[in-house]
Amino acid sequence: MIVRKNMGRLSPLLLLTLVLGFCFATYNLVTMVMHNRSISNWIVNDSNGGIFFDPVIEMPENVKKPNNAKLPFHVALTATDAPYSKWQCRIMYYWYKKQKDLPGSEMGGFTRVLHSGSPDNLMDEIPTVIVDPLPAGLDRGYIVLNRPWAFVQWLEKATIEEEYILMAEPDHIFIRPLPNLGHGGYPAAFPFFYIKPALNEKLLRKFYPEEMGPVTNIDPIGNSPVIIKKDLLEKIAPTWMNVSLKMKNDPETDKAFGWVLEMYAYAVASALHGVQHILRKDFMLQPPWDLETGKKFIIHYTYGCDYNMKGELTYGKIGEWRFDKRSYLRGPPPQNLSLPPPGVPESVVTLVKMVNEATANIANWDAE
């Protein structure tokens, strides 16, 4: 009986020891959790100054931009002198001018980097810097290989006042004022679902050796849209050009990557320089797959939009109603395009309305 009573009681000293030990362990656990949150919680400011979480977005808290700070960026797109490229550039520049000075915008200057080597008829309409194309035959029919070479030349010869650069494309339309989504050494980029470094490790190891780290260091991005500090791009651009050419000259890689080869090259070049990007899903939308514009900033109209008159998507088959930029390879689309039938997603309707507004207000629209 006595033994059982003693075993059922805790002495005051033992009880005090257990309490202190529990408090110490709890303190350590809380401290550890708070510390881990401070260094590995990745957050991002939205356009309204708020904060939201997304497993794809990566931005350390210690590089958040103060809400009252303005960090203007220079808008740069590469282009050719082909009619197909020119009409897209004109629409893109129209919407840049409309959004540039609105609240929330951090857009700075604008440059069309024309890699035809000679002036065209848009020199007085759009700020343009002329650079040389790659030597004849080097792109092997893949015109996009001129993009990294164009940026290398532009960065060497141009005076760029802004500290940041947005690399954009002719088929981009600004649907909202665009703030600077990049932060210091962390550029901002759009994650493309079809850029999959982990699934292409064997190929990518030809250009990103194992000693550089895991292939997951390569972001699932292309070079556009990307907002990046000028000094970072000056380091990455020559590597991007060289990797692009090496990939194109490797038959296995060329066949596997096809038209997205130059996108993979930019992602690899960035990783080789230890640069990782904040991945912003709200940077851009791509009709017809993205159904609503929502709070996104750029429409990328790279895909054809084909629908029947019931408003049903007929992708892969020419629709009764369609908008596809490739329908206008030899000249600009006509003004006042017909709007989509009822039931077509809002993103497609918005795209056509914005194209129509631009073509109605750009002087001499029919000029090639």
Each residue's pLDDT expressed in tens, for the chain with a length of 368 residues: 333 334 344 454 444 443 444 444 433 333 333 333 232 323 343 433 333 333 344 555 555 555 667 899 999 999 999 999 999 999 999 999 999 999 999 999 999 999 999 999 999 999 999 999 999 889 888 999 999 999 999 999 999 999 999 999 999 999 999 999 998 889 999 999 999 999 999 999 999 999 999 999 999 999 999 999 999 999 999 999 999 999 999 999 999 999 999 999 999 999 999 999 999 999 999 999 999 999 999 999 999 999 999 999 999 999 999 999 999 999 999 999 999 999 999 999 999 999 999 999 999 999 87
Q: Which residue's entry shows tokens 């080597």? A: 117
For residue 167, the model assigns a pLDDT of: 98
Show the CA angle centred on residue 277, arms to residues 179 and 88, nearest 5°. 55
Domains and CATH numbers, the chain: 73-279 (3.90.550.10), 303-361 (no CATH)
**Cα-based torsion angle of the residue sequence 318, 321, 327, 332 in order, rounded to the nearest 10 degrees:** 180
Please give the backbone phi and psi of residue 54, each rounded to the nearest 5 degrees, phi first. -160, 130
Q: Tell me which residue of 274, 273, 300 sits closest to 289, measured CA to CA.
A: 300
The CA–CA distances, whole Å, from 366 to 171, 352, 358 equal 18, 17, 12
Q: Tell me which residue of 140, 252, 241, 275 sits closest to 205, measured CA to CA.
A: 252
pTM above 0.95, yes or no: no
Residues 6+ apart with CB under 8 A from 286: 299, 300, 301, 302, 303
Q: Please state, in angstroms and rounded to a whole number, the distance separating the CA atoms of residues 242 and 182.
A: 25
For residue 60, the model assigns a pLDDT of: 55
How large is the angle between the packed helices 261-272 and 230-248, nearest 10 degrees?
A: 130
Q: Tell me which residue of 206, 230, 227 sits closest to 218, measured CA to CA.
A: 206
